[in-house]
Chain A
Amino acid sequence: MRVADGVPTALLEPSAVPAAVHGLKAAGFALLVDLTAFDSPERAKRFDVVYLFHRFADAKRVRLQIAVGERDAVPTITPEFPGANWYEREVYDLFGVRFQGHPDLRRILMPDDWLSHPLRRDHPLGGEVVDYGPARPREAVAPLMFPEGTER
Chain B
Amino acid sequence: MSDVTTTLPPHETMLLNMGPQHPSTHGVLRLLLELDGELVVDAHPDIGFLHTGIEKSCEYRTFHQAITLTDRIDYLSPYSNNLAYVLAVEKLFGVRAPDRARWLRVLLAELHRIGSHLVWLGTTAMDLAASSVLIYCFREREEILRLMELLSGVRMMTSFIRIGGLPADAPPEFLDGARRFLDGLPAHLEEYDALIKDNPIFRQRMVGIGTISTGDAVAYGLTGPNLRANGVAYDVRRAAPYEVYPELEFDVITETGGDAYSRYRVRRREIDESIRICKQVLDRLPEGPIRIDDPTVAYPARQLIHTSMESLIHHYKLATDGPIPPAGEAHVSVESPRGDYGCFVVANGTNLPQRVRFRTPSFSAIQALPLIVRGGMVADAIAALASIDFVLGEVDR
Q: Does A10 contact B (CB under 8 A)?
A: no
Residues of A within 8 A of B328 (CB): 4-5
CB distance from A14 to the nearest CB of B (A): 19
Residues of A within 8 A of B363 (CB): 86
CB distance from A32 to the nearest CB of B (A): 5
Proximity string of chain B (340-378) to chain A, C-beta cutoff 8 Å, 1 when within and 0 when not: 101010101000101101010001100110000000000
CB distance from B354 to the nearest CB of A (A): 6
A38 to B221 alpha-carbon distance, docked (Å): 21
Q: Does B55 contact A (CB under 8 A)?
A: yes
Known A32-B221, A108-B48: A59·B240 in contact at CB below 8 Å: yes
Q: Does A11 contact B (CB under 8 A)?
A: no
What 15 additional pairs, Cβ within 8 angstroms, besides A31-B218, A86-B367? A4-B328, A5-B91, A36-B344, A38-B355, A40-B348, A52-B331, A63-B331, A81-B219, A83-B221, A119-B55, A121-B59, A125-B56, A125-B57, A151-B60, A152-B65
Proximity string of chain A (24-40) to chain B, C-beta cutoff 8 Å, 1 when within and 0 when not: 00000011111010111
Q: Which residue of B lies closest to A7 (CB)?
A: B331
Residues of A within 8 A of B344 (CB): 34, 36, 50, 52
A residues with a Cβ closer than 8 A to B are 4-5, 7, 30-34, 36, 38-40, 50, 52, 54, 56, 59, 61, 63, 81-83, 85-86, 94, 107-111, 118-119, 121, 123, 125, 151-152
**A34 contacts B357, CB within 8 Å?**
yes
Q: Which residue of A lies closest to B364 (CB)?
A: A83
Residues of B within 8 A of A36 (CB): 344, 357, 359
B residues with a Cβ closer than 8 A to A are 47-48, 51, 53, 55-57, 59-62, 65, 91-92, 218-221, 223, 232, 234, 238-240, 322, 328-331, 333, 340, 342, 344, 346, 348, 352, 354-355, 357, 359, 363-364, 367-368, 396-397
Known A34-B357, A82-B219, A152-B352: A125·B340 in contact at CB below 8 Å: no
Q: Which residue of B lies closest to A61 (CB)?
A: B240
